[in-house]
Amino acid sequence: MKKFNALFRSGFLLIYFMVVSCSLSAFAANEFNIIPYPQLLIPQQGTFTINSKTVVFCSFQQPEVLKLARQFSTQMALVSGIKLSVRDISGADSTNAIILRKTSTSENVETYRMQVSPKTIHIQALAGNGFFYALQTLYQLLPPEIYGKKLSAHQKWIVPCVSITDNPRFSYRGLHLDVCRHFFPIAFIKKYIDAIAIHKLNKFHWHLTDDQGWRIEIKKYPRLIEIGSKRDETLIGNNDANFPRKFDGKPYGGFYTQQEAKEIVAYAKERYITVIPEIEMPGHAQAAIAAYPYLSCRKDSTFKVVTQLGIFPEVYCPREGTFTFLENVLSEIMEIFPSKYIHIGGDECPKDRWKTCPDCQALIKSKNLKGENGLQSYFVEQIENFLNSKGRMIIGWDEILDGGLATNATVMTWRGINGGIAAAKSGHDVIMTPGTHCYFDHYQADPVSEPMTIGGFTPLSKVYQFEPVPNELNEEQAKHVLGAQANVWAEYIETPQRVEYMAFPRVAAMSEVLWGTKHGRNWDLFRNRMLTQFKRYDQLNINASKAFFDVQFHSSITANKQLLISLVSDYPNVQIHYNTNGKVPTLKDALYKEPIIIDHSLTVTALTFINGAPICKQLSKPFMISKLTGMSFTKNVNNSWYDGGNVNALTDGITGNTKSTNQWMGIAKSMNGEIVVDMQTAKEINRFSVGMLNVPAKCAIISPVVKLFGSVDGINYQLLAEKQIPPLTSPNWKILRPELIFKPVTVRYIKLQLKSSTECLADRENGNLLFMDEIGAW
């Protein structure tokens, strides 16, 4: 019933459902596997078959359209052996023809209309953009083999008859790539742009400079490449993986010449994609400062390109020489990139150096600025004024709001949506890219089963749920939301294959968010269409994540404090088999039909099957059940409390892991911890355990002592057990689960006390952390 109701959310889906249900087409609903889905699609009766006699007609007076027609003909010849003739539209025939005809009825250059009948495919658009997107749709109406690189054994090239009217909801539809933390070759950048194009995205945000490397040639400043593009070595694992931190000892570098960058701009332009370069300032500047130390506020000539990850204090000093340098750099950047926008970063700029810099403090005083935040705004305004004078506009991360927003700046909001709301309400254009939904360097499946990432959790379904226009904006303010963008930060992405794994298929979900209507999205229909999309990825040799096919474990607490476990998969219509013996599930194991109730600790192992064959990797999930499961608890601190987004993590039946801190709860600032649990009624217990996470690089050190108290009234407590814990010597993440055994006692309340350790060698200004997870009593 849910699926039936969802189909009626928009008029075109109602029409779509009625036509398909009446069997007017030989093609079922899921045969129109177009991503992003068109604004209006009405199936028609019959099919059009492309054969050796099919002719492509277009105006030879429109070079862009003629080029697109020839590209389509070339691709058809490559995969099918059919050589389509391309002829001028003046001699167009309405039989066995693909006709590309210019229309003057549309004001949007990205709009197109397509009418497929048994005799003709008729495409209308105002400009090359529209024809390009129409052809992307036509490719997706054909078998996935159309995306291949060699002759296919596929015999028939059939297009279902259909009427489509289509245009994007947002003008800015972006995908980002960080090439500073890890460098990627030109051939891959082109492949990445091809992938952007087939998803009908139109902006490529190229993050070219950062602390870990300067990646674009600037002829006036050759040391940016000679020194700034190279680092001595690279951190192994993530920032907190080991202490002391480990490095690979291998020099690392790479850069793009201006000619290569121009080549990318031209390549993208042919696919109706604008390349937006990002030159970070005033923070994330240490690679530039290593090349030209005078750009810093400190008199030091020993700066080096950063070899680890994080935020660093060396930032551009707001002096005349620095602004001259940046203007010269941006002048060369503008010669390479003709984009309306230049992204200037503006994020994560520590003010430490400015606070101790006499020149900076004098500037704050002379300009009557509001402290160091005001100085950052002044910095941004100087750059904006320069770029505006050259006919360009700036984009900056939402930190450019701090201290006051530059006059014509466009805000790219990443720290949630509040920055975008504030900017739009003040009349500034906004590009939404909140980390919650748009950061594709986050985990996309259970962290235990995934390669290492920076953290977070952004599965495909969550991306699909993203709505770029916040409810807090009225209709007029909402016009300032230009669109949104997905970001691929490369701290932990070392190869092109890993970029693809992290970006796809989540880009497919983002493309549909940005192209279609707000109320036209339907997750069930989308995931059905994704089955064909994965076949396209295979043809394109895109190493897309297969988490779509994996089992997902969802748990909740029942009224009687048991665990209700649901096993689901994004892949529709699968069979899930599971067991609790730790072996690889087979068809002989239990078939999942309904949520499983668990009343004792165990590990569930599951696998998805289709037509009797496994289609994903096996996944296991341990669950811990005790007399504390589902119970509420109180804690002795609030302001210094960390819960990873799960406020019930201590008693939810799920244990933490060493891949992510999302499931862990913690206390910061070297504070001791005290947790009180009300079991609702008096219960007999004689055993207790608590999980603790030791991360030396974070100064997250296990408690040297664990104390457990019990009470019948919540006022008078008695010590039940105490255990001394020797410090761990492991340099990396380690879980310890001490168990306390004591004489049976009947209590209603238990109190856990943990002590913050002083044993940490890592430099952490905010003191030690205490990480804990699932507590249990039996």
For residue 16, is pLDDT > 60? no
| pLDDT: which is higher, 139 or 756 | 139
Q: Which two tokens stand for residue 86?
A: 């391309």
Stretch 298-310: mean pLDDT, rounded? 93
Q: Write out pLDDT tens, residues 252-279.
A: 999 999 999 999 999 999 999 999 999 9
Stretch 81-86: mean pLDDT, rounded? 96
What sign does the CA torsion over 374, 379, 380, 382 have? positive
For residue 718, is pLDDT > 80? yes
Report the pLDDT value the prediction gives residue 642, as an integer from 0 to 100. Answer: 82
The residue annotated as part of the active site, out of 284, 343, 442, 480, is: 284
The residue annotated as part of the active site, out of 232, 332, 348, 402, is: 348
Stretch 692-708: mean pLDDT, rounded? 93
Strands 563-568 and 596-598: antiparallel
**Which position has the token pair 């960058």?**
261
**Which position has the token pair 């939904």?**
437
Distance CA 468, CA 514 (A): 8
Q: H or E stretch including 529?
A: helix 523-539
Distance CA 701, CA 736 (A): 11
List, in order, residues 6 or more apart from 95 with CB less than 8 Å away: 119, 120
Strand-pairing partners, residue 178, are 207
DSSP structure string for 96-112:
SEEEEEE-SS-S-TT-E
Q: Write out pLDDT tens, residues 390-408.
A: 999 999 999 999 888 778 8
Stretch 108-127: mean pLDDT, rounded? 97
Q: Write out pLDDT tens, residues 129-186.
A: 999 999 999 999 999 999 999 999 888 999 999 999 999 999 999 999 999 999 999 9
Report the pLDDT value the prediction gives residue 763, as an integer from 0 to 100. Answer: 64
The residue annotated as part of the active site, out of 110, 145, 210, 450, is: 210
Split at pLDDT 50, 70, 90, the class of 423 is very high
Distance CA 102, CA 89 (A): 10
Residue 467 falls in the annotated catalytic set: no
Q: Which of 523, 372, 514 is nearest to 460 (CA)?
A: 523
Report the pLDDT value the prediction gives residue 244, as an integer from 0 to 100. Answer: 87
Residue 210 falls in the annotated catalytic set: yes
Q: Which two tokens stand for residue 216?
A: 């674009």
Task: Kindly provide the residue ranges of all beta strands, DSSP E only, lying in 257-338, ordered along the sequence.
Answer: 274-281
For residue 70, is pLDDT > 70? yes
Residue 589 falls in the annotated catalytic set: no
Q: Write out pLDDT tens, residues 599-620.
A: 999 999 999 999 999 999 999 9
Split at pLDDT 50, 70, 90, the class of 641 is confident
What sign does the CA torsion over 439, 267, 337, 295 have? positive
List, in order, residues 6 or more apart from 84 with CB less than 8 Å away: 50, 54, 55, 56, 72, 73, 76, 77, 98
Distance CA 370, CA 367 (A): 9
> Up-side HSE of residue 112: CA atoms within 13 Å toward CB?
24
Split at pLDDT 50, 70, 90, the class of 645 is confident
Stretch 279-306: mean pLDDT, rounded? 96
pLDDT, the chain, mean: 93
Helix (H, G, I), strand (E, B) or coil at 753: strand
Report the pLDDT value the prediction gives residue 513, as an integer from 0 to 100. Answer: 98
Report the pLDDT value the prediction gives residue 463, as an integer from 0 to 100. Answer: 98
Q: Which of 238, 237, 236, 242 is nearest to 694 (CA)?
A: 242
Q: Write out pLDDT tens, residues 508-545.
A: 999 999 999 888 899 999 999 999 999 999 999 999 99
For residue 11, is pLDDT > 60? no
